[in-house]
Structure 1
């Protein structure tokens, strides 16, 4: 167990990992980040949205600031997008602690980068189960795995990483970066961490409550249950 005693107040945001279902405000956030020289790593539909935005922004001169997560990890996304960010180098970059020489060695050995910010919002589980046509299977498919994992990892490491879970925070974050010459202070990172843990706790509670309200008697009406080995 690592017990951290020395913590930097200001952290310069150099690398941000962005993967969002709700694209609200993402264009303004991206413009603000690249103006501070931030490198952006992204996935799937978020990558394409940012790519289009940077192509239209300032004559496309910031396009070199966008990188796909797959190009960084060396692994393609799983078919259907189920696995995009669950990668060792991603989590080294999220969980490595400042001033920890052993962590620096791991980062150097794997040629990993420090992620200073994570911007994630989750598959819309509550919205999905509120629909009249929703089924247990459509609910199951809207359970996010990578998103909560990234939020929890970045929020745990608030001593170095900004964990961003809500578009409503974007303006506040950019304002703080403008005042801090591209940096965020410890107070802001801690505040964002609290919001992320509250967000993921509510998300898990929604899933738990939904499953508790489902009966195993419903399963045959949703799935064709086979006794055959699937492999």
Structure 2
């Protein structure tokens, strides 16, 4: 299972082709899920996994125990495996996430404080860190330029 949540959707089709070829289930958030569907690929909305609809303005999408346990669980620990089975949680093996363009936004002429604040990513950072923490089981890709490496 792969979790995709990207601000920069450049090159995503290459990645999707490879994931489909290998039969990888894709979970995704709002705009990314929409783009995946537009490109003709199957995707499960993250809200279907969490059982909670995305909050207004996309403020909370992936900050949920079902997502983070799927990222952080140690698949060699029986209590982790048992809990995942009991709750119907599928482990996540790959996180593809790039953050909101905060730096680009704040350098725009006339950028307001509200615009800048809206580009501070919380959920994306948490997913990336969770995947990195559990790197034995979860790969993480943050740069569209690295999609080719993943696909090789």
Quote the RMSD (CA, aligned, Å): 0.9
- Alpha-carbon separation, structure 2, partners of 1:33 and 1:163: 14
1:125 aligns with 2:102: yes
**Aligned positions, number:** 152
1:28 aligns with 2:14: yes
- Alpha-carbon separation, structure 2, partners of 1:151 and 1:101: 25
Cα drift, residue 53 of structure 1: 1.0
- Alpha-carbon separation, structure 1, partners of 2:39 and 2:114: 34
Q: Which has the higher contact order (CA 8 A, sep 6+)?
A: 2
Q: Deviations over 1:164-220 (max 9, x none)?
A: 111111101110xxxxxxxxxxxxxxxxxxxxxxxxxxxxxxxxxxxxxxxxxxxxx
Divergent runs of 4+, >2 A: none
**TM-score, length-scaled by structure 2:** 0.97
Cα drift, residue 40 of structure 1: 0.2
Say which structure is richer in helix. 1
Cα drift, residue 54 of structure 1: 2.1
Q: Deviations over 1:109-164 (max 9, x none)?
A: 21101000000000100000001111222111110000000000001100100011
1:44-193 matches, within 5 Å, as: 44-54=30-40, 63=42, 66-175=43-152
1:38 aligns with 2:24: yes
- Alpha-carbon separation, structure 1, partners of 2:114 and 2:55: 20
Question: 3-state DSSP class of the match of 2:9?
Answer: coil
Gaps of 5+ in 1: 1-14, 56-62, 176-231
Show the counterpart of 2:3: 17
